[in-house]
Amino acid sequence: MNQRQFNGETERFVRRYDYDDTTVLAADLDIDEEDVYVDTVDDTAIVVLQREDGDEEFEIDLPGTAANIDTQNGVLTITITQ
């Protein structure tokens, strides 16, 4: 299932994988992991990308509380356990 997240003019695609007791959301951010900052508030992930031309911020709606957040090779992965 694909989910679209919008932030003004920017459209982000987040791929969602549903398993028996886990949901995984993955977004290709195309940025170094040290330039990605993620905070969660309830069922929302707030993502900040630090770029040379200025920061970019967007939100991802989560289907529950995030259990694990990881960024590797420019891909943000958020795991939610049921």
Tokens describing residue 59:
């939100």
> CA 81, CA 58: separation in Å to the nearest integer?
23
Residue 63 has, within 13 A of its CA and on its CB side, a CA count of 16
Segment 2-26 shows an average pLDDT of: 73
Per DSSP (E only), the strands in 1-82 are 2-7, 10-18, 22-28, 36-41, 44-49, 56-61, 66-72, 75-81
Question: For 64, left (φ over 0), alpha (ψ -120 to 50), or beta?
Answer: left
pLDDT tens for 29-62 read: 989 999 999 999 999 999 999 999 999 999 998 9
Please name each of the domains of the chain with its CATH number. 2-81 (2.60.40.790)
Does the global pTM surpass 0.85? no
